[in-house]
């Protein structure tokens, strides 16, 4: 009897969740699922979420949310002759350095990555996905196997996708965080040896 009540409670909770309007994170999740499906059809690995890239994407989206969609061209990434895109290569993104600092990204060690903003009315997920997968400006990055991580952020009509690599220059980590992790590891090891 209790299992029936628990099952009904679970069913009711899921129905309530399904009936709520879609929020931006739902749209972001939908776009990410579509991008990963697109990458799988290209025999590429799926992108996994990278918290610091997500932080950067969200900060940028908040900053450009009031920009008209006509200004999207000014935010396109520029690439070097090798095809690499540094996180700081989107020089026209307002307050980029402030966002990088806020998200605790070490720009001195993060030279790989790309910031891809799109502007779509009401952020219709299928149209946003189409912008990313059918535009040469964006699809060339999504078709590139060196990108393995992602962060998404959205505000109003803007969605920002930040792609990262799994190299030491593209993980969007900070040197301080790595050093702190090593210090904790050695402290734990020392504690175990002294026991």
Q: CA 142 to CA 4: how far, in whole Å? A: 46
> If you search the block for the tokens 């950067």, which residue do you land on?
56
Element (H, E) at 149: strand 147-155
pLDDT by position in tens, the chain (length 195): 554 443 333 333 333 333 333 445 789 999 999 999 999 999 999 999 999 999 999 999 999 999 999 988 888 775 433 333 444 444 578 888 899 899 988 877 776 789 999 999 999 999 999 999 999 889 999 999 999 999 999 999 999 999 998 776 555 655 444 433 334 343 343 344 444
DSSP string, 26-44: HHHHHHHHHHHHHHHHTT-
> If you search the block for the tokens 């400006």, which residue do you land on?
137
Domain ranges for the chain = 22-194
CB atoms within 10 A of CB 133: 19
The structure's pTM equals 0.72
CA–CA distance from 112 to each of 36, 115, 119, 138, 173 (Å)? Answer: 20, 10, 24, 16, 12
**CATH number attached to the domain at 22-194:** 3.40.33.10
């Amino acid at each position: 009897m209790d299992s029936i009540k628990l099952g009904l409670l679970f069913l009711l909770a899921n129905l309530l969740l399904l009936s709520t309007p879609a929020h931006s994170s739902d749209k972001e999740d939908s776009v990410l699922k579509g991008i990963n499906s697109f990458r799988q059809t290209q025999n590429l690995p799926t992108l996994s979420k990278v918290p610091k890239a997500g932080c950067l994407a969200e900060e940028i989206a908040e900053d450009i949310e009031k920009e008209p969609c006509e200004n999207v061209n000014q935010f396109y990434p520029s690439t070097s002759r090798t095809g690499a895109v540094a996180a700081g290569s989107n020089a026209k993104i307002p307050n980029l350095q402030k966002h990088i600092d806020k998200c605790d990204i070490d720009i001195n060690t993060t030279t790989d990555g790309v910031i891809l903003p799109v502007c779509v009315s009401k952020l219709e997920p299928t149209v946003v996905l189409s912008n990313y997968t059918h535009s040469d400006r964006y699809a060339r990055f999504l078709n590139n196997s060196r990108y393995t991580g992602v962060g998404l952020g959205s505000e109003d009509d803007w969605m920002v996708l930040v792609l990262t690599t799994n190299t030491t220059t593209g993980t969007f980590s900070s040197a301080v965080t790595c050093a702190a992790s090593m210090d904790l590891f050695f402290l734990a090891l020392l504690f175990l040896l002294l026991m």
